């Protein structure tokens, strides 16, 4: 089964690389919403429409001219069970919407998992590029390149006045959603985060939890993305986001410096307790795990903990999610069993 | 009421499960419900744009801004069959032609969501080529008129053929 490689490893190849500002910015993502001209949008498409769209995308990916974007593997949602789909969501390779809500949904994944093309989600195509650290401009460049290749072969729904036509009016125009996932524990501890969130929304950006629309902030991670897609060029949107993210990075750094200066003991205590709980707990739920992993990560970033790699933490973030936990133990677990399994995975991982 | 599972947070989700005729009720907080897998997907409980859209649209009528509220009630996309009322309810278009059929209603909606109603940014090369072709045809037609006025008919005939070829290319949709 070809899709197994994408499911069994907790972190994608791309996540092992280090990007700029990686102590605060986890990843940068750009997705482009595109539709084909002659088909109804997925919400109204028939199964045969949907299958034709999958075939067309597969056709483009298999063409010789697509060779310089690398190899893609096409995975249909109905070939996967619930748990396998959930793992792909936890790895940010597909949206919760594609996993649960789509009819005839599919995804094409690149070898290193930095590109994914969702098919028959809310729009016919959702071209996504994910990179580590603050590389939002590169993510746009790469997603744009994939888009160019599709556009040569497929006739997009495009209107001179409205731009790329999308199923939802919130995406029309450029169809771009650029987002940056950040770890901002110091801003949360000092309570500055609320002020920042409300300021950010005033410049056409929005803050979400790490699993996209509707998900809550978990373990001091926030995802900042553009809200406006019509009337601003892709470059302006990406630059605007980049500028705001840089300001937040500066604020987080300042907050971290202040914490060390003024509350060194408190922070060392917090990090030490996190390490203590994570290395010794026998039962831990996902919320506590996320919080303690965040504290430990802060400790690593502040050089209070030196023998654990940030990559290990990235891995644990995914490995401790309910879907991945159950997938790796090969069976459906009750919440209580999951909490026990989660604790044991964390203990093992931190021992090495 | 506190969540039965963690006994810490208030219970905000209440479930009734009937298995083999046996009725079970339980009360959970959002977090525990998610852990137990009782809530499927994350987008069911968020307050998303779609909940707001019908509000945005009725606001229009409340302010008396909508010039013909009745005509929008019966508006329908002839390609996919989606009515404007359905669009208001779901917040989603049915196909790309909905944008044409609902055109007159869309400017205020887009302005409210994006602060703009006209696209700026990437244009697909193919549509760009079409646009280029259209402009070229317009220019050639003007030139043709001038040749006719000047009675340079041989030149005019050449231009006429050129325009015909370009128009054929345009109608094939493959610039």
pLDDT, tens only, A264-289? 999 999 999 999 999 999 999 988 99
Which one has a higher pLDDT value, A352 or A296?
A: A296
Per-residue confidence band for B49, with pLDDT thresholds at 50, 70 and 90: low
Shortest Cα distance, chain A CAs vs residue B147, angstroms: 32
Only one residue has tokens 């852990």, namely: B35
Which one has a higher pLDDT value, A342 or B36?
A: A342
**Average of per-residue pLDDT across B148-162:** 90
Only one residue has tokens 């998610």, namely: B34
Q: Is residue B124 part of a domain?
A: no
B76, B45 contact by CB (below 8 A): no
Which one has a higher pLDDT value, A153 or B133?
A: A153
pLDDT of residue A215: 47
CB atoms within 10 A of CB A106: 24
Q: Is residue B8 part of a domain?
A: yes
CB contact under 8 A, A169 and B110: yes
Looking at the structure, tell me whether residues B27 and B79 fall in a common domain: no
Q: Is residue B121 part of a domain?
A: no
Task: Give A114-120 contacts, CB < 8 A, sequence gap 24+.
Answer: A114/A12, A114/A13, A114/A14, A114/A142, A115/A69, A115/A70, A115/A72, A115/A142, A115/A143, A115/A146, A117/A57, A117/A72, A117/A146, A118/A94, A119/A53, A119/A54, A119/A57, A120/A42, A120/A45, A120/A50, A120/A53, A120/A54
The 3-state DSSP class for residue A55 equals: helix
pLDDT of residue A4: 77
Whether the pLDDT of residue A219 is over 50: the answer is yes
Spatial separation of the C-alpha atoms in residues A165 and B126, rounded to whole Å: 15
Q: What is the dihedral of CA A204, A207, A208, A212, to 10 degrees?
A: 40
Out of A101, A122, A162, name the one closest to residue B99 (CB): A162
Interface test with B, best of A41, A99, A121, A169 (most B CBs within 10 A): A169
- Predicted-complex ipTM score: 0.84
For chain B, what is the domain count?
Answer: 3
**Average of per-residue pLDDT across A232-242:** 95
Looking at the structure, tell me whether residues B98 and B55 fall in a common domain: yes
Which one has a higher pLDDT value, B15 or B166?
A: B166
Q: What is the dihedral of CA A108, A111, A116, A120, to 10 degrees?
A: 10
Whether the pLDDT of residue A218 is over 70: the answer is no
pLDDT of residue B35: 63
Spatial separation of the C-alpha atoms in residues B99 and B93, rounded to whole Å: 8
Q: What is the CA radius of gyration of chain B?
A: 29
**Average of per-residue pLDDT across A83-107:** 89
pLDDT of residue B139: 84
Looking at the structure, tell me whether residues B13 and B33 fall in a common domain: yes
Looking at the structure, tell me whether residues B35 and B73 fall in a common domain: no
Residues 269-328 of A with CB under 8 A from B: 285-287, 322
Q: Is residue B98 part of a domain?
A: yes
Looking at the structure, tell me whether residues B54 and B109 fall in a common domain: yes
Element (H, E) at B47: none
Whether the pLDDT of residue B58 is over 80: the answer is no
pLDDT of residue A269: 97
Interface test with A, best of B26, B42, B47, B79 (most A CBs within 10 A): B42
Per-residue confidence band for A69, with pLDDT thresholds at 50, 70 and 90: confident
Structure tokens at A92: 């940010």
CB-facing half-sphere around the CA of A315: CA atoms within 13 A = 16
Residues in chain B within 8 Å Cβ distance of A105: none
The 3-state DSSP class for residue B151 equals: coil
Looking at the structure, tell me whether residues B35 and B72 fall in a common domain: no
Whether the pLDDT of residue B170 is over 80: the answer is no
- Owning domain of residue B18: 1-47
A296, A346 contact by CB (below 8 A): no
Whether the pLDDT of residue B46 is over 50: the answer is no
Residues in chain A within 8 Å Cβ distance of B129: none
Q: What residues form DSSP beta bridges with A28?
A: A131, A180
The dihedral of CA B47, A30, A20, A202: what is its sign? negative
Out of A151, A160, A228, name the one closest to residue B126 (CB): A151
Looking at the structure, tell me whether residues B24 and B67 fall in a common domain: no
Q: Is residue B123 part of a domain?
A: no
- Chain A contact for B28 (CB, 8 A cutoff): no
Task: Indicate the pTM of the whole model.
Answer: 0.79
Whether the pLDDT of residue B13 is over 90: the answer is no
Whether the pLDDT of residue B9 is over 70: the answer is yes
Q: Is residue B122 part of a domain?
A: no
Only one residue has tokens 């994939």, namely: A146
């Amino acid at each position: 089964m070809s899709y197994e490689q994408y499911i069994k490893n907790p972190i994608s190849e791309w996540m092992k690389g280090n990007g700029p500002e990686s102590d605060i910015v986890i990843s940068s993502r750009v997705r482009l919403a595109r539709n084909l001209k002659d088909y109804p949008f997925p919400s109204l498409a028939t199964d045969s429409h949907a299958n034709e769209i999958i075939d067309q995308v597969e056709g483009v990916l298999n063409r010789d001219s697509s060779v310089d974007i690398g190899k893609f593997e096409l995975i249909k949602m109905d070939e996967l069970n619930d748990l396998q789909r959930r793992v792909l969501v936890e790895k940010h390779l597909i949206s919760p919407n594609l996993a649960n809500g789509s009819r005839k949904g599919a995804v094409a994944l690149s070898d290193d998992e930095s590109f994914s093309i969702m098919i028959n989600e809310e729009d016919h195509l959702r071209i996504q590029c994910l990179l580590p650290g603050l590389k939002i401009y590169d993510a746009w460049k790469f997603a744009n390149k994939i888009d160019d290749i599709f556009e040569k072969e497929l006739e997009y729904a495009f209107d001179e006045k409205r731009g790329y036509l999308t199923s939802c009016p919130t995406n029309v125009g450029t169809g771009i959603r650029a987002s940056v996932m950040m770890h901002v524990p110091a801003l949360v501890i000092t309570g500055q985060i609320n002020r920042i969130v409300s300021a950010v929304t005033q410049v056409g950006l929005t803050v979400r939890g790490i699993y996209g629309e509707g998900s809550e902030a978990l373990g001091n991670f926030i995802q900042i993305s553009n809200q406006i897609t019509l009337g601003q060029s892709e470059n302006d949107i990406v630059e605007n986001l980049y500028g705001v993210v840089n300001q937040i990075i500066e604020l987080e750094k300042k907050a971290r410096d202040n914490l060390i200066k003024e509350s060194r003991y408190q922070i060392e205590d917090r990090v030490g307790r996190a390490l203590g709980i994570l290395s010794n707990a026998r039962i831990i739920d996902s919320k506590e795990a996320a919080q303690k992993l965040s504290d430990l990560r802060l400790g690593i970033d502040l050089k209070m903990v030196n023998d654990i790699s940030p990559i290990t933490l990235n891995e644990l973030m995914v490995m401790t999610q309910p879907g991945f936990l159950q997938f790796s133990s090969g069976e459906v677990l009750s919440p209580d069993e999951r909490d026990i399994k989660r604790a044991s995975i964390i203990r093992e991982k931190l021992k090495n | 009421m506190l969540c039965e599972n963690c006994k810490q947070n208030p219970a905000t989700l209440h479930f009734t499960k009937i298995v083999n005729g046996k009725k079970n009720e339980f009360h959970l907080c959002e977090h525990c419900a998610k852990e137990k897998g009782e809530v499927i997907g994350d987008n069911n409980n968020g307050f998303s744009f779609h909940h707001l859209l019908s509000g945005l649209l009725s606001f229009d009528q409340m302010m008396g801004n909508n010039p013909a509220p009745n005509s929008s009630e019966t508006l329908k996309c002839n390609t996919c069959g989606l009515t404007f009322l359905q669009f208001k309810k779901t917040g989603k278009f049915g196909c790309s032609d909905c944008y044409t059929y609902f055109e007159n209603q869309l400017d205020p909606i887009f302005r409210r969501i994006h602060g703009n109603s006209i696209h700026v940014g990437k244009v697909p090369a193919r549509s760009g080529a079409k646009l280029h072709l259209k402009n070229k045809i317009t220019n050639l037609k003007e030139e043709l008129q001038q040749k006719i006025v000047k009675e340079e008919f041989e030149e005019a005939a050449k231009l006429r053929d050129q325009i015909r070829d370009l128009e054929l290319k345009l109608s094939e949709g493959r610039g």
